[in-house]
Amino acid sequence: MGVPDSGLLLIGPFSRASYLSVKSLRAYHESGLLVPAVVDPQTGYRSYSIAQLTDAAVIRRLRALDVPLDVIGQILEARDPEVTRKVLREHGAVLEERLAATQRAVDDLYAALDAPESHTPVHLRDEPARSTLTVSADDVHDPIAFFARVVPLLTEAVRLSGAVTTGGLGALFPNELAADDAEDIVAFLPVDTAPRLDPASLDAGVRVGELPACTVAVVVHTGSFDTMVDTYRNLGAWVASNAAPGDQPVREYYLDAATTEICWPVV
């Protein structure tokens, strides 16, 4: 797959940065709601501009409130707070209680606040190769429940194998979102050397893995999962302007209960 021009993201990385699945992005393209900035006439590959990350965030938040696509289209086309208020009021009483929160979210997005307090400035870092113990799952709908299940498995595997951890819990996520409500996750603990696993750990789904060396764009998110989408959006915009997304999965390191280091492999 080719590399888009500077300032553009192919549909896969754009889906990761915007938290909209590739399936949804294709549907929004076909409906005319979010048309890619560039479509390669030879390959059909879609590329999106940094500015479209804001529109994608508006669509995602309004769809979470069950706002119809045609109504969202009116809001995006007008880009006027007064029009937004009018259209949302006409949407019906079901939105009245949530209208104020929705309006604040839309206003914040269109203010183009590209340096929220929830994250640090983006920087590049060279990641060394790491041996890991992993547990993976496909189509995870509840990441918190997934991690609550796998952390004891990884911890016990470390104890039984005699491995020495070289860092805290992390996870790998695909470069693109295949669905809006679930995604594949590989949880991992880095260890000094690849150990021999006991049968109990293997039966529980623990495997030995390796993170290859790579260069990553790093940002530290502080806060809840609900605001992490804003951090990803800003990281995706930085990658589009300063590098190109790599083929390796995005890495998250959980520094504490409220702090996540997001590492996006780049070339």
When pLDDT is cut at 50, 70 and 90, the band that residue 87 belongs to is confident
pLDDT recorded at residue 71: 87
66 or 29, greater pLDDT:
29
pLDDT recorded at residue 98: 62
* DSSP helix/strand/coil, 147: helix
DSSP structure class, residue 13: H
Distance of CA 127 to the CA centre of its chain: 20
Please give the backbone phi and psi of residue 220, each rounded to the nearest 5 degrees, phi first: -105, 120
pLDDT recorded at residue 108: 63
pLDDT recorded at residue 177: 87
Spatial CB neighbours of 36, under 8 Å, sequence gap ≥ 6? 11, 29, 46, 47, 48, 52
Residues belonging to the chain = 267
Spatial CB neighbours of 92, under 8 Å, sequence gap ≥ 6? none
pLDDT recorded at residue 180: 84
Pick the CATH number of 123-266 from 3.20.80.10, 3.30.950.10, 4.10.520.10, 2.60.40.10: 3.20.80.10
Q: Dump pLDDT digits (tens) for 218-234.
A: 999 998 877 888 899 98
Pick the CATH number of 8-110 from 1.20.1560.10, 3.40.640.10, 1.10.1660.10, 3.40.50.300: 1.10.1660.10
The string of DSSP letters for 175-226 reads SS-S-SS-EEEEEEEEESSPPPPPHHHHHTT-EEEEEPPEEEEEEEEES-GG
Where along the chain do its domains lie?
8-110, 123-266
pTM above 0.85, yes or no: no
